[in-house]
Chains A and B, each alone.
Chain A
Amino acid sequence: MTDKDQNRDEITLKGIPASPGIAIGPAYVFHKDGPVVLERSINEQDVEQELKKLTSALAHAGKELEKIVEFAEKQLGSRQAKIFEAQLMILDDSVLFDSIRKRVRKELKNVEFIVREEIGKYHTLMQASKDEYTRERANDVEDVQNRILRNLQEQRLVSKIEGSHIIVSKNLAAADALVLSRNDVLGYVTEIGGATSHMVLLARALNIPAIVGLHNISTMIHKDDVIVFDGYNGTLVINPSAETRKKFEEKREEHREFEGHLTALRDLPAETLDGHRVQLSANVELEEELGFVKRQGADGIGLYRSETLLLGKEVFPAEEEQFKHYKNIAEGAFPKHVIIRTFDIGGDKLMAQAVKENNPFLGWRGIRVMLDMPNIFLHQLRAILRASAKKNISIMFPMVSHLKEVRKAKELLEVAKSQLAERKIPFDPDIQVGIMIEVPAAAVIADDLAREVSFLSIGTNDLIQYLLAVDRGNEIVSDLFQEFHPAVIRFLRRIIERGKSENVWVGMCGEMAGDPLATMLLLGLGLDEFSVVPHVLPEIKKIIRSVHYSEAKHLAEKVLTMETEDEIESYMKEVMKLKFPDIPLE
């Protein structure tokens, strides 16, 4: 090591990929700690001056927020701008500010200190709430508090940054992400935040790469440290070597070139060179993703996870509330089609706290739960039916393992239909019904099940886990979770063939559908529909459009004769490297 300062070791970290793209550049560490506030006594004659400061700080903060809302409306539309509504209302809270003024007069303390104490009191209470919605609002309260304090200290909003930077921060409020985006922002990196936070949705809407969930990153990085990151897979490197940097630059180039083709690709069908057309759809959790999904050129929504509606709730939402959500999704996607999966709860998903089970993955989940609660199920079925009036919705039942479950669910659907017909409420009487194939038993009786429905959608995550008896969350055995296990491939062929022999289409909405390495194989096995996470959609479309169906079928035949996962995977990699040297494979 010749020069320690210039040649610091590179550090590779892994976060949660949140918004796609490659970012390379100097870091700007954005501190969200809030202004430093000290307790100070003031003289009686300075009270009015102190209170004037508050009035003017509130006016400034109000102007800042109005500008943010205006900018958000321009960039993202008025619905997204609504997330700043609560902050504007707090600035108008005369009870709050009157009590702050009263305390300044009475206690003769500096106004910043009192502001911090008074608003901080509410912030602490909200943070401690067991209601998720209220905990989220705590962030708004903190943001507005810091906005007022900063204006009291007459500091300008840090919104101007010279040059291009990757913004690194502990936590980034949506307002910050938005304001900072007026600069040349190369990417966002945060410690806190899930892949569906407001900040992430904004980053995607603004086409800026982002990674979240990188613990301690803001203390590991100093201003102007060079970092590179990959918003597709969540890898971030601090102080990259010349070699690493070059690798990321190449990848960025590839993606830029690729983005260039994207506009053209968006409106083109997912069709092979020899004219075999498949459906390429997106998996969606939130209404807010619809814009992004459209820009990615999806044929529709292959999986809408309705259980997202249950997040943070202790009771099932009423029919009316559900109807509004489904209607928004259906209208947002129109004229494209949406497959709404009925509540898939249990296992690792939601409401697990309600029932204690020794082995939840083999327990009360998916359709089993809903069939045991027919009234709640009817609420959901009616809500979905009511949203189907424009005929662009299908219904899908999860975790089916018995034929009678499908029959029972269909019976309930008929009950829901006749209830609506009685009330003269419009719906699509021919709404298509499908099921997920994610239990090995369902795969074995796929033909019997197929006779009851219009489509099958393979959920690979659970199917592989049940088929190989591997919990992929269990680190000791998780390397045995292999999507290219010969048993998995043969099983997939069986499901697809059985479905087709009964004239129903067969799709896949599990992770495997979005793995570029598996695309040719799945195509060759005859899969009719791929439903994938939105950000990989263009890549999958590119692969489909660059191959012949005949060669994909040939490849699948060959893979079906192979005996080990290693053999299959290395063969797939070899083919991909040869055909698509520019597509990065994990």
Chain B
Amino acid sequence: MENIEMRKAMFKFGKDEKKCSGCRICEMACVLYNKKECNPKKAFIKISGNFPEPGGYNIKILKGCTLCGECTRICPIGALFEKKNPEEQK
């Protein structure tokens, strides 16, 4: 954890990297909402792949995350989600 926002984000939002398909819609949703720009390079969330072996993706929440939740609402595959009960927050 690099800063307080990231810790808060990890507390409020959940991620399941095994489900991530690498579409990067979350990056786009983030930057559209927070920067009013069509430029995923400026997003506060970053997806990176592990190819060719072993496959799969990493989801990293970056410094500056505003806890807006846009990424969880757009994720089409359930890799990012808002935690709803205390059990999930553990």
Q: Indicate whether A and B interact.
A: no
The interface of chain A, by Cβ under 8 A from chain B, is none
The interface of chain B, by Cβ under 8 A from chain A, is none
